[in-house]
A and B are shown apart, each in its own frame.
Chain A
Amino acid sequence: MSAAARPGSHWLRHGVVYAAMLPMLATVLFAYLGTVFWSVRVSVSSSRTLPSSDFVGMAQYTRLFASERWLLSLENVVVFGVIFIAACLVLGFLLAVFIDQKVAGEGVLRTVFLYPYAMSFVATGLIWQWVLNPELGIQSTVRALGFETFTFDWIATQDKVMYAIALAAVWQAAGLVMALMLAGLRGIDDSLWKAARIDGIPTWRVYMSIVLPMLGPSIGTAVVLLSVSVVKVYDVVVAMTQGGPGLASEVPGKFIMDNLFGRANIGLASAASTVLLLTVLALLAPWMYARARAARNGGHR
């Protein structure tokens, strides 16, 4: 393009674009960058209930990584994240594909899979807690039916409680992934199907080799959304187990929240949040860089 040839004209010609991006710029600068820098500043102070302006260096970070609860929370969130994202993607994709097969009652089915997303987790989390409780829920019901040795007490076991939480979380989020995939599927050209039909390719091959790659952006969106949920997971843990039994289902989101409010230790909470952000940055930045390079090199994808 000749835009680069005359220096001022790029901005002039595309002034509209930059003007339209001003809200985004303002938000990023003030609401995000500014506040994140503030929280990093707090993380190197000894702030308790209120921010204080002293400087204690890395003391909060040392305390953070000496905390068994924090380290456990990191472990847990990784386990939870892997299961949650994989299950939601697979289930969401399958539901979207199957619903898209011109099934009867599509509207009803779509609402059935989406409604958990509409409900506040405080109550639904309690239901899951009851259902998974060995004395109250599924285990006792199945045992009463005659299967004396049936056990399903994940929620009361130290090393399986995260699976129980992942189960409830997938129940809540898979519907949204389905909706995303459905929107993406509906954006695929009709002629594609006709062409595949004509070529005699079996349907499942069409899905695997053609549709799935075309759903790339939708899957990308879903992965980012799910990752955000994983990093910030809090409601489901508090509603189901309160971080228990013991410390077994502690997650970083809950660690941060507890220190922000109950423990009146915003310095430690900010340190934890900074560590979390840096970790996410370290994981996402290479991927985004690669995408940016690909975008610059070819196509506008």
Chain B
Amino acid sequence: MNTTTTTMPSQPLAPPNVARTSVRPRRSAWTPARIGIYAFLLVCAVFFLFPLYVMLITSVKPMEEIRLGNLFSLPVKVTLEPWAVAWSAACTGLQCEGIKGGFFNSIAIVVPSTILSILVGALNGYALSFWKPRGGTLLFGVLLMGAFVPYQVIMFPLVRAFAALSIFGTLPGIVLIHTIFGMPVMTLLFRNYYASIPNELFKAARIDGGGFWRIFLQLMLPMSLPILVVAVIMQVTGIWNDFILGLVFAGRDHLPMTVQLNNVINTTTGERLYNVNMAATVLTSLVPLFIYLVSGRWFVRGIAAGAVKG
């Protein structure tokens, strides 16, 4: 053991259980491999970023310039007016107040829907993965099949059912809808994640006297941090950007921001203000983007490692 340590490059002395960011046993030496890694990431970054570049420069050009059609050229005249218009003055019907109107509605829909759908998904994944109830796999299989059905096809009976339950066009109604449609993917996410957690951990906890809920809340949930982050990313993005479900089930008083966004961008026979459309799209996507940015601190290593050893 000792002989090998002297020939290897020095290791970072991080304790095994603590993880802030990745603790890969490699120094940042400029080996060809390292340069290759950065080169690849850079090329990919360019591929990913150039549509954003086009979006941003289009959003600060006046319409006369856009009509000339030079996609990649920098604006001759920079104008921030499209951004102001998109937020507070674009026409969305009779009113011309931009997309800001639906902002708080979207928040009111996204927060409870995300929390509820993730909790239910984690619970299902946990129960399916560790407790293996009878018929669980079949139920999961049917649930997964449901994810493949385009929900517009089944909207009619759902509208009828919700109307019968008096929750059609209400906030609880739209939250329930998002939970229902998020269930297959969330359950899949957590079930597969828990499948990679060693069973010994679970058995040990049961021997220690843990019951269903205790093990879930005190052991599994805290260990699911990385997949929780992914789940939050998926649900916040999906629910924030959802249009048709919010349009039909949320009711006039709770219409999400995407309805205004659709009204600004989409039109059959009206004029298209491309700069305002681009600005409005970027503005709407700021909330999911913010979530992505702050989610970094929780992309940590699983604590499973430490738990097994300890």
Contacts and interface: CB of A to CB of B under 8 A. Distances in A.
Interface residues of B, number: 112
B150 A253 contact: yes
Contacts of A136: 69, 71
Interface in B176-206: 180, 183, 185, 187-189, 192-193, 195-197, 199, 202
Given A186-B299, A189-B305, A28 B146 contact: yes
Contact of B71 (A18, A137, A281): A137
B302 to A, nearest CB: 4
B154 A39 contact: yes
B124 A21 contact: yes
A266 B156 CA distance: 10
Contacts of B58: 127
Interface in A112-127: 112-120, 122-124, 126-127
Interface stretch (B46-54, B75-83, B100-108): B46-54
A293 to B, nearest CB: 10
A183 B44 contact: no
Interface in A271-287: 273, 276-277, 280-281, 284-285
Interface stretch (A59-67, A70-78, A153-161, A172-180): A172-180
Contacts of B144: 224, 284, 288
Contacts of B55: 123-124, 127
Given A118-B237, A193-B25, A21 B150 contact: no
Contacts of A10: 134
Given A118-B288, A141-B72, A180 B142 contact: no
A187 to B, nearest CB: 4
B153 interface: yes
Contacts of B265: 120, 122-123
Given A27-B183, A299-B199, A182 B299 contact: yes
Interface string B142-176: 11111111101110111001000000000000000
Nearest to B116: A23
Interface residues of A, number: 111
B229 A183 contact: yes
B131 A14 contact: yes
A292 B137 contact: yes
Nearest to B233: A179
A122 B233 contact: no
A190 B37 contact: no
Nearest to A215: B196
Contacts of A51: 156
A270 interface: yes
B92 interface: no
B146 A32 contact: yes
Given A24-B124, A300-B130, A276 B54 contact: no
Contacts, number: 294
Contacts of A117: 233, 237, 288
Given A110-B299, A122-B262, A257-B150, 7 more contacts: A17-B127, A20-B127, A99-B41, A110-B292, A122-B265, A176-B233, A190-B16
Instruction: List the 10 closest pairs (A to B, CB-CB), nearest first.
Output: A32-B146, A35-B154, A123-B281, A183-B226, A118-B288, A217-B192, A187-B302, A107-B296, A189-B305, A118-B285
Interface of A: 10, 14, 16-18, 20-21, 23-25, 27-28, 30-36, 38-39, 51, 91, 94-95, 98-104, 106-107, 109-120, 122-124, 126-128, 130-131, 135-137, 141, 171, 175-176, 179-180, 182-184, 186-191, 193-194, 197-198, 203, 214, 216-218, 220-221, 224-225, 227-228, 231-232, 234, 253, 256-257, 260-261, 266, 269-270, 273, 276-277, 280-281, 284-285, 288, 292, 295, 299-301
Interface of B: 1, 4, 8, 16, 19, 21-26, 28, 33-34, 37-38, 40-41, 44-45, 47-52, 54-55, 58, 69, 71-72, 120, 123-124, 127, 129-134, 136-137, 139, 141-150, 152-154, 156-158, 161, 180, 183, 185, 187-189, 192-193, 195-197, 199, 202, 211-213, 226-227, 229-230, 233-234, 237, 241, 258, 261-262, 265-266, 274, 277-278, 280-282, 284-285, 288-289, 292-293, 296, 299-302, 304-305, 308-309
26 contacts: A14-B133, A28-B139, A30-B161, A33-B146, A35-B149, A51-B156, A91-B44, A102-B26, A116-B48, A117-B288, A120-B265, A124-B281, A127-B55, A137-B71, A179-B229, A179-B230, A184-B226, A186-B302, A190-B23, A191-B309, A227-B148, A228-B148, A228-B185, A234-B150, A276-B148, A301-B195
